[in-house]
C-alpha cells in the first residue's frame, strides 16, 4: 500500500481544553486509512517580527520544516471577534516567510471552523480563506465545515457524540483525501 499522506493539523486555539483541539484529536479516529493526521503546535512560536528574519528563532525554523514535510494542511479554528485568533494568524505569517520561500505554497488545505454558537465561526472560516488564497494553497471548497454547538459535540471519551456530525466529518475527510490526491504535490 502507498504510504499515508501526512496531514498537519493547525489548531487555532491555545486553550488547554479547546474544543478545536478535541475535534482535531477526534478526527484521527474517523479519518480514512490513507491519511495520517497530526497536530503541529503553534503556541510556542514567537510573534512574527521581520527584524528576526536574519536570525530566525529555532521555533520558527522547526515549524516551517514541519509544514514543508506535510502533504496537506487542515486548519481547525475558533472565531475571535468574527475573525481568526491572533495565534493562528501569527503561525500563518511565520510559515509564509522568508519571502519567496513560503512553507504553505501549493499545499492542499481544508478549513473546519467551530463555535459553541450557531454560526459555526463562519466569519473566521472565511477570513482564514482570504489568507489561503494569497498563500496559493488549493483549499477544499465543498463540503464547507462550520460546526456550531461544538460545546455539546463530544461524548465522555472525547469522541464525536453526535452521529450526524460524525458522519458529516467522516465524509469531509474522505473528500479531503480525494482533494489531496487531485491537487497535492506528490
Least Å distance, CB 171 to ligand FNR, is 22
Min separation Cβ 15 and ligand FNR, Å: 4
Number of H helices, E strands in the chain: 5, 5
Rounded to whole angstroms, the Cα distance separating 75 from 39 reads 10
CB of 116 to ligand FNR, least distance (A): 6
Burial 120-156 (b: 16+ CB within 10 A, else e): bbbbbbbbbbebbeebebbbbeeebbbbbebeebbee
**Residue 82 lies near ligand FNR (rule: CB under 6 A):** yes
Q: Is 32 in the site for ligand FNR (CB under 6 A)?
A: no
Q: What element of type H or E holds 169?
A: helix 163-183
Nearer to ligand FNR, 154 or 168 (CB): 154
91: which residues sit within 8 A by CB, 6+ positions away?
A: 10, 42, 45, 63
Among 106, 117, 143, 167, binds ligand FNR (CB under 6 A): 117
**Residue 121 vs 180, nearer CB to ligand FNR:** 121
121 binds ligand FNR (CB under 6 A): yes
The footprint of ligand FNR (CB under 6 A) covers 13, 15, 18-20, 78-82, 115-117, 119, 121
Amino acid at each position: 500500500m502507498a504510504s499515508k499522506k501526512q496531514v498537519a493539523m493547525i489548531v487555532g486555539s491555545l486553550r488547554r481544553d479547546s474544543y478545536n483541539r478535541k475535534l482535531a484529536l477526534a478526527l484521527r479516529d474517523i479519518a480514512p486509512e490513507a491519511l495520517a493526521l497530526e497536530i503541529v503546535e503553534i503556541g510556542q512560536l514567537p510573534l512574527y517580527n521581520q527584524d528576526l528574519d536574519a536570525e530566525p528563532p529555532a521555533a520558527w525554523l522547526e515549524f516551517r520544516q514541519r509544514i514543508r514535510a506535510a502533504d496537506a494542511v487542515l486548519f481547525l479554528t475558533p472565531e475571535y471577534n468574527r475573525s481568526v485568533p491572533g495565534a493562528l494568524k501569527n503561525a500563518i505569517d511565520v510559515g509564509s516567510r522568508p519571502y519567496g520561500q513560503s512553507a504553505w505554497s501549493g499545499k492542499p488545505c481544508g478549513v473546519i471552523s467551530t463555535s459553541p454558537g450557531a454560526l459555526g465561526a463562519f466569519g473566521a472560516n472565511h477570513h482564514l480563506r482570504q489568507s489561503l488564497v494569497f498563500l496559493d494553497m488549493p483549499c477544499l471548497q465543498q463540503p464547507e465545515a462550520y460546526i456550531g454547538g461544538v460545546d455539546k459535540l463530544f461524548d465522555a471519551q472525547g469522541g464525536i457524540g453526535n452521529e450526524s456530525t460524525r458522519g458529516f466529518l467522516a465524509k469531509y475527510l474522505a473528500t479531503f483525501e480525494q482533494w489531496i490526491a487531485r491537487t497535492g504535490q506528490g
